[in-house]
Structure formats: structure tokens, C-alpha cells
Structure 1
């Protein structure tokens, strides 16, 4: 029979004490881990965003010589928010969510991406910026982009994406910049884009878009560039906030009076269209650097209210008539060629060219009858003037560009017709 003190001696044995201490350590470790779990958990990317990143890598590839996706390694101990190229995240609750995604190399000239845009891009609910570099992407823009209610910037550089602009873009009420440049997009510009109350930059240039320019007067738009498409119809009402407007190389027509309220414009390019009517005199007082109205069907006299300070004014290849305003001498480069202007070259033009403030003056292919003070002006070699094919003998200073291939002067019968008040070939 065991001694009554046996159990007491067993409890006090050193081995028992070590086992008790070990149990305490284990318990403390478990408690500590439970306390640290939220911190570690907060570093995890949300499963939906992780799946989207996997689908992006599955549907897109680096072009030969590219290495953008080399950092996109999916492994247990790798945090995409810290290691994936082009990725930025924001903490939302216990997870990180993708807030900015730049697909492709940030440096121009490096190989871009091939493949297509996955539909799952629309699952990145917290995405604010989506930019895609130049490359060889094909397919269409997913309609699911319209699900990105927090998106502020969508910028797509030259690729080979085709199909229409998704109408779901009209759902992006926080969108400030929509840029899809030099792709193969077809169809009309969704009218709903004109309802985006935050839109400041709209660039849809160099695509295959057709139909009208949508009504945009309700947006705070500052930059509109839809050049090099097949757009038709007239200029719609535009917001007074606009500072940059380019619709060159389309099939737009009608008067250009819609630009009159745009007193903040610094760049205006309506060239290579089918616009008609007269030029609003107000545009010459805008704070413009470039006024490009060439290659249209604009008619009538050019009324200039005050000296022009616009650097480049191109009114060439229209059907503008009357005498030339001396106020246009304030430009640096002036293109009035291929119109129906008559009369004498203003004295101010000779003065400004002698000062070399007016550096380029192209007046060829009009019905001018007198070169005025230009006939004997000593011009610096840095300036250029062209007066060929008018109803005068060009002065020696008239040195036209090599691509101007025309007779020195107009035939007498054309000049006689012009003198009777009916210039025209």
C-alpha cells in the first residue's frame, strides 16, 4: 500500500513542474496569436480582388521582351499590394482592396501587353484608377467596367481593342478622366457620357467612332479630344469650362457658333471637317495659343475686333472673302492661303515681319492685288512669306514651301472677275 505522502511527493517532482510551465507557454502563445490575428488578417488582399488579379494574368501576357508580369507571383507568403507591379491598395475593414491598377510598363517604348481584358475587372469595386499602356491587346472593353462606381480615371493607350464604348460607362458617376486613344473602337459615343457630373477630360481620338458628338454642356469638361474619327452632325452645346477642343478630321458640318461661349479656350482645332457659315469674331479674343479652322467650307468676311495675340492662326483652305484685317499681324504664324481674299497686304504685316514677331505668313492662292509694304521690305532670314498665285507679281521675298506647286500669278480672267466683286476659281 502506498504511503499517504506519495501523491504529494509526485506533484512536487521537477518533471511535473516542467510540464506545467510548458502548458502555460502554449496557452500564452495561443492568446498572443489570437490578439495578433486581426493585424495579420488586415494585410490580406480580399479574395475577390485576388481572383481578379489571377484572371488578369491568365488573359494577358507580356509582349516579347517585356517583363511587367514578372513580379506577379501568386504564393502564400507574397502580398500583391507590396510586390505586384502597377498595383496600389487601400485598407477597407480587415482586408486590402485594389485602388489603382496600371497594366503595362510605365515607360513609353517598352513592350506592352497582349491578350484581352477580362470581364472580372468589373469586380474591383474599390478601384479608382485604371490605366493600360500601349500594347497589342485585342477584343472589347468589358461592360462590367460600368460596375466600378469609385472609378475616377480610365486611361487606355494605343492598342487594338475593338467594338463599341460600353454604354455602362454612363454609370461611372465619379469618373473624371475617360481616355481611349488610338484603338479600333466603333459605334457611337454613348449619350449617357454627357450626364457624368464629374467628367473633366474626354479623349476618344483616333478610333472609328461615328454619329454625333453627344450633348456635354452639363459636365464640367475641360478637355475634349475626338479627332480622327468619322463623327458627323453639328457641334453640340459645350460647357463653358472647356479649355481644349479638338474635333479635327471628322465629318462634322454646320455653323461653328457653339464655340462662342467658350471664352476659356486655350486650344481650338476644328480643321478638316465640313463646317460652314462665318467665323465668330469672339474667337479672336479668346486666350488661345492655336486657332485651327483650316480645310472647311467657312465663308464670308473675317471680322477681327482687336489685335490678335494667338500664336498660330490657320484659316486656310476655306472660302473666306474680303480684305485681310491688319489685326491679324499680331500672330506668330498666319495661314490665310487658299481663300478668296482681295485687296492689299496690310502695312502691319511688313512691320511685324521686319521685327520677326510675325515669323510665317502664307497668303498664296487668293486674289490679292497689291503686296503693299512687303514689296520693298528688308526681311530677316528667319521669317517666311508666300504670295504666289494672286493677282500680283510676288516680291522677291516670297519664298514658298517646296510643296506649294502653282503658277506665280493668277490668270488675268480670274483677276478681272475678282475685281468685279466675284472672286472664285
Structure 2
């Protein structure tokens, strides 16, 4: 297991009870219940191991323990994709009393006071009275604001986290937000914040988690987030960002990338990789072009890849079959053509495979149907004309499947012969197929040895009760 030295750069403070919850294809996976609100910072008192979405341990290391010790323990990456319910406990825990800090004694809390008051003045709707408590200089008592000991001086308190999830708050983010330079996390899921992100966010050099999902932010991809050196979790889904994705997004060392359900256009960048992301969700945008073969750069980390309804064309590249850690692959509702790459038979950990609503042809290979962990295989609304071996009886393997509206002889609910002939009379050579994005595609010339992995489902919005759909 890969050890991450930044595990030594984590600390936590206020405890909250929450539950991780993810859904895909009506399958639910409940993570371990945690009695700890994670403030992703650089110090903490106990050494704690917990299981995140990928079931790898997260190591929280005491501030006296060096980074090398964290590596020795095998601390792994973390990204918070969870629905949580707050039950705040503000016990002393031997920390300085946040309420005792004054503007005079703590200039950093004074700067936080200025920032939060500026923010309060550009909020014009607060139906659940989050902001009503933002009165006076004791910012650590504000609802949704969490304090912790400063990294460089544990004797003083700083604003380490802001959580306004599900507040239905309307307003925008002021430039003064950049004064909150001690922030480790910002959670603004399910509000009505609008406008563009302020460039002053570049000052948030300790920010680890940024969740702006389910809002009304606009403008081009906010490149300011790419300047944040410690950022690991980025969630921009369900907004109105538009234009091309920055190529640097896929070169930044992020653990989770959610940019689905925006208005991004142009093709996916030709060069993907450099990121250590285990989850990549770009669904419901309008990219077009082909999936670049450089997707293979994610081979060592990627576990969930969701490209639903992104206007992808061309063939599914064989390189997808080399993402050997994949548990979820969903390329449904696109314009993909050609056969299923035989290389997919090497995805031994794959649990969810959705190829539905494309124009793919050829056979459904036995190697894919025999994947040891496959639980859900959907390839309906294509033009497949043959199912190999066990693919003809997936029920016997306990696999949930949907093969409707193909060209499969003697199977019910198939396309008409006329409709099938119109497509099957013009087979696609993936090695020569032109791609709008300039990328090649194609089926693998060989079937890799079958390996193995666990099932997951499209992730729900990490901090909302209702799990949004990707389609």
C-alpha cells in the first residue's frame, strides 16, 4: 500500500457524527460511522486509522510524529465523499477556549472576523439562520465555523473549517474570503451561491477539501483552485461552469475530482495523468471527441470513472482495460462505436460496467462476462450481435444485466432487422476511425489475464441527503 507523507500534515478538532453513503445502480455502500469531524490539518493528538470510501486506512499522526513515521504506518490518502449529520460537541479537549480569544490577543481571528462579516454582507437569503449567529468578534461561536489550534502556534485558535452544507443560502463569495488563510476545508454543498470564485482564494494555502457542489457558480473553470498546494478533494458538480476543462486539472495531485453536471465543452485534454485521483466524475457535460488513450496514466489509482452523457465519440480505447483498479466504469449515453475492447477482461476488480445507449457493435466477449467481481453489466441500446459463452446466461452468475435493444438473435426486446442491418453493414475499424478530438481508439488485439476488485456505485453528492443522479 502506498504511503503518503502528507499524512503527517493532518489534524482534527471538533467532533461530529457522520455517515458515509454512496449509491450507484441502486446499490448502497455505507462506510464506517465515525465520531470525528475531520479537519484536514497538520496536527492531531491521537493516532487514528479509519476506512474511507476506498477501504484504505487514513493515518492521523500526532504533531510530534514526523512524516517518515506516517509513511512507516502506511498512511493512505483520504477524500471525504459523505452525507453527514452534525451533532457538535465543543468540549475543551485541553485546547484553548475559542470564545476566550479576542481581537486584540489574536489578530488571525480578527482577520477571520473581517472576512466573515464581509461575507455576511453579501448574503441576501438565509432561510435556516446559519448567518444569524455571525454577530460579534467571537467567530469560533458562529454557526458553521470551526476553530482549531494554529499550525505554527498551537496556543492560539484559528478558523480551520467552514461548513454551510444544505443551508440554502443565497449570495456570493467576497474577495475577503482570502483572509481566511488557515482554512483546511470549505463545505458549501446545496446552497444558492452564485457568481465567480474570487482570486483571493489563492491565499488559502492550507485548504485540503473544497466542496462547492449544488450551487450556481458560473464562469470558466476556476483555475484559482489549481494553485492550492494542499488541495486533495475538489467537488464542483452541479454548477454552471462552462468552457474547456483546464489540462492542469488532471496533472494536479488530487484524490477525487467531481466536475459533473456543469456546462463544460470542448474535448477532454489530450494529456491526462499526473493526478493520483481514485475517483474521476465528468458526467453530464458536452465535451465531444474521443476518450484519449492517456487515460491509462490513471492506472495506479483510478477506481471509479464516470463519463456518462459527455458526447464522447469514437471507439472505447483499449487503454481503459489497463486501469486495473477500476471498480466502476460508466460510459453510457454517448456516441461510442466499435466493439468492446477485449482488454476489459483484465479489469478483475470491476463491479459495475455500463455501456448502454451508444452505437457499439460486435460481440459481447466472454472474458468480460467472466470478470470475478462483476455484479452489474448494462449494454442495452447498442448494436451487439452476439454474446459469447457465459454472456448468454449472466443470470447463472448472479450478474444483473440489461441486453435490450441490441441485435441479438432469439433474445427478446431487440431492434428490428432493418435497423440492425443499417448499422452492421458498415463495421467500424477502430484503428482507422477518425476522432474529432484527435485521439485514436480501438479494441485490444489480445485479452489480458483475468484479475479481480470490489463494487462501487456512482458517488452521491458528498454532503447532501439526496443522492443526485448522473444521468
In which range does the TM-score fall when normalised by the shorter chain? 0.5 to 0.7
1:322 match: secondary structure: strand
Normalised TM-score (structure 1): 0.66
Q: Which residue of 1 aligns with 2:140?
A: 81
CA contact (8 A) 1:147 1:171 kept: no
Q: Which residue of 1 aligns with 2:313?
A: 253
CA contact (8 A) 2:173 2:197 kept: yes
Aligned pair partner of 1:364 in 413, 425, 445:
413
1:42 deviates by 5.4
Q: Which residue of 2 aligns with 1:51?
A: 114
Q: Distance in 1 between matches of 2:182 and 2:259?
A: 25
Q: Which residue of 2 aligns with 1:18?
A: none
1:169 deviates by 2.1
Q: Distance in 2 between matches of 1:90 and 1:213?
A: 42
Q: Distance in 1 between matches of 2:398 and 2:339?
A: 20
Pair 146,45 (structure 1): closer, same or farther in 2 beyond 3 Å: closer
Given the alignment of the two structures, is residue 228 of structure 1 paired with residue 289 of structure 2, yes or no? no
Q: Distance in 1 between matches of 2:323 and 2:287?
A: 21
1:43 deviates by 5.4
Aligned pair partner of 1:337 in 391, 404, 423:
404
Pair 184,83 (structure 1): closer, same or farther in 2 beyond 3 Å: closer
Q: Distance in 2 between matches of 1:227 and 1:247?
A: 5
Q: Distance in 2 between matches of 1:88 and 1:44?
A: 14
Q: Which residue of 2 aligns with 1:211?
A: 266
Q: Could you say which structure has the larger radius of gyration?
A: 1
Which residues in structure 2 correspond to 1:291-370 (within 5 Å)? 291-305=353-367, 307-308=370-371, 309-327=373-391, 329=394, 330-342=397-409, 363-366=412-415
Q: Distance in 1 between matches of 2:267 and 2:110?
A: 42
Q: Distance in 2 between matches of 1:364 and 1:202?
A: 37
Larger mean CA deviation between 330-339 and 245-254 belongs to 330-339
Aligned pair partner of 1:135 in 172, 183, 191:
191
Deviations, residues 371-405 of structure 1 (Å, cap 9, x unaligned): xxxxxxxxxxxxxxxxxxxxxxxxxxxxxxxxxxx
Gap runs ≥5 in structure 1: 1-37, 346-362, 367-409
Which residues in structure 2 correspond to 1:148-167 (within 5 Å)? 148-167=204-223
CA contact (8 A) 1:133 1:157 kept: yes
Normalised TM-score (structure 2): 0.60
Q: Which residue of 2 aligns with 1:378?
A: none
Q: Distance in 2 between matches of 1:123 and 1:194?
A: 28
Q: Distance in 2 between matches of 1:86 and 1:62?
A: 18
Q: Distance in 2 between matches of 1:259 and 1:81?
A: 48
Q: Which residue of 2 aligns with 1:272?
A: 333
Q: Which residue of 2 aligns with 1:185?
A: 241
Deviations, residues 241-275 of structure 1 (Å, cap 9, x unaligned): 11111110111122222311111111111001112
Q: CA RMSD in A?
A: 2.9
1:317 deviates by 1.3
